[in-house]
Amino acid sequence: MDSILVTGNGPLNGQIPIAGAKNACLTLMPATLLSEEPLTLTNAPRLSDIKTMTALLQSLGAEVSSLQDGQVLAMSSHDLTSQTADYEIVRKMRASNLVLGPLLARFGQAVVSLPGGCAIGARPMDLHVEGLEALGAEIELKDGYLHAKAPGGLEGAVHEMRFASVGATENIVMAATLAKGTTVLKNAAREPEIVDLVECLRKMGAQISGEGTSTVEIQGVDRLHGATHQVVTDRIELGTYMLAPAMCGGEVELLGGRMALVESFAAKLDAAGVKVEETPIGLKVARKNGRVNAVDVVTEPFPGFPTDLQAQMMALMCTAEGTSVLEERIFENRFMHAPELVRMGANIEVHGGTATVTGVERLKGAPVMATDLRASVSLILAGMAAEGETTVSRVYHLDRGYEHVVRKLEGVGAKIERIKGQ
Ligand code: UD1
């Protein structure tokens, strides 16, 4: 298994290009299932999660061609052969469940494996099921699979979600595009990836309004057509690399970054003493003084502080002046990076969903283990700011969500290399 060797190397300077959003791409790809005509995505990120979704769509009979070094995905669901998403693929990646809504809408039936346990919590699918049932689907759990059917087609309805789940919003919105009549989805998630999905669906002929607010209205149409769509910038990759100069010093410009994608995160950085400026081509980030100040963080659905940046923010807080409290409200088990950061000399106490971090002057390099995608990159950031060498093992987690991480960080002056495993 490969690992990453990072050596603390002082301030960073230069530019880092930000890729298209993994999470947007993972919901835009299943949208191909809604139409017989081709859907082409540009600005796709080159990640193993995208390969997993490609394999899933191909297992359903879709054609998926990866062009221009993976940045363009040309897809066609003209001749689908199956409506079953197999456990072998779904267990690798929870976002596989995003084929449920589109398959059900287009074919009146779908069989999708439950994702099962995941390192950062239970992550059930009850909110997806409730929303699709509100549209008239009958859904049964058999042998670990959700068997969904709507023989007479789905019908629009008013439905309020108990919690603004991102994936459930995406599944329900996609399903409603081909339902009869109007669907009003209340307490919908407002993430930029949902806005991006709706923009793409609209290009395909869907009639949707209210995306980006908590009430989304979808007027069902008979069919959707082909489209070409550019995937929105990855706000989590953006936020992650914004932390690199915050932790190591220097000034880095994140190409393609926009403030609107990271408003609440940038506000926390500002309070910590990190300057974030919008430029014509991205966001420029620099640390104002020596050490950053401790700030408290509570993770929330968008536009609140994103859970997917909590681990990286904790790495920053490890060397802040003072004590910060990080509260994780989205996932119940998302502090697995804390004991690894402690191995690097951090002072962290975890009680349930709250981590109290008292900053130390400098972290010290150590061998550490990545436990999930965002945890893995938080350890790399910590290693870049630490004294000495840090080896991060199990980097396959990293490959799921960060393309060319070594090249991007090396480009701004980090000392980082990938060590090939046996
Ligand atoms: C998406 C993102 C993920 C991010 C998360 C929260 C993708 C591919 N992934 O995941 O990176 O961390 O949003 O911003 O876009 N829940 C239920 N029942 C359900 C669905 C969810 O209880 O039916 C719970 C989950 O267990 C979790 C919380 O709701 O505790 C948030 O989940 P959700 O918003 O659905 O996240 P995902 O769409 O899975």
The mean pLDDT of the chain is: 96
317 three-class SS = helix
410 three-class SS = helix
Residue 119 scores a pLDDT above 70: no
Q: Binding site annotation covers 124?
A: yes
Q: How far is the CA of 292 from the centre of ligand 1 (A)?
A: 31
Predicted local confidence at residue 421, as pLDDT: 87
Q: Is 168 in the pocket of ligand 1 (CB under 6 A)?
A: yes
| pLDDT tens column, 309-322 | 999 999 999 999 99
Please name the residue that has the structure tokens 């403030």: 259
Q: Is 117 in the pocket of ligand 1 (CB under 6 A)?
A: no
Contacts of 267 (CB under 8 A, 6+ apart): none
| Among candidate residues 157, 60, 53, the one with its CA nearest the CA of residue 110 | 60
Predicted local confidence at residue 333, as pLDDT: 83
DSSP, residue by residue, 259-279: GGGSHHHHHHHHHHTEEEEEE
The preferred substitution site among 165, 196, 232, 328 for testing ligand 1, maximizing ligand atoms within 8 Å of CB, is 165
pLDDT band at 332 (very low <50, low <70, confident <90, very high): confident
pLDDT band at 288 (very low <50, low <70, confident <90, very high): confident
For residue 316 the two structure tokens come to: 């920053």
Predicted local confidence at residue 50, as pLDDT: 97
Question: In the Cβ-directed half-sphere of 7, how many Cα atoms lie within 13 Å?
Answer: 5
Q: How far is the CA of 40 from the centre of ligand 1 (A)?
A: 26
pLDDT band at 120 (very low <50, low <70, confident <90, very high): low
Of 25, 118, 200, 248, the catalytic one is: 118
Q: What is the average per-residue pLDDT within 257-279?
A: 97
Q: How far is the CA of 324 from the centre of ligand 1 (A)?
A: 25
| pLDDT tens column, 213-230 | 999 999 999 999 999 999
pLDDT band at 116 (very low <50, low <70, confident <90, very high): low
Q: Is 337 in the pocket of ligand 1 (CB under 6 A)?
A: no
Residue 117 scores a pLDDT above 80: no
Predicted local confidence at residue 55, as pLDDT: 97
Whether 243 and 316 have beta carbons less than 8 Å apart is answered as yes
From the CB of residue 138, how many other CB atoms can be counted at a distance below 10 Å?
12
Domains recognised in the chain with CATH numbers = 3-18+233-419 (3.65.10.10), 22-230 (3.65.10.10)
Q: What is the average per-residue pLDDT within 98-107?
A: 97
| pLDDT tens column, 226-260 | 999 999 999 999 999 999 999 999 999 999 999 99
Q: Binding site annotation covers 126?
A: yes
| pLDDT tens column, 189-211 | 999 999 999 999 999 999 999 99
* Beta-bridge partner residues of 278: 283
| pLDDT tens column, 51-89 | 999 999 999 999 999 999 999 999 999 999 999 999 999
Predicted local confidence at residue 418, as pLDDT: 96
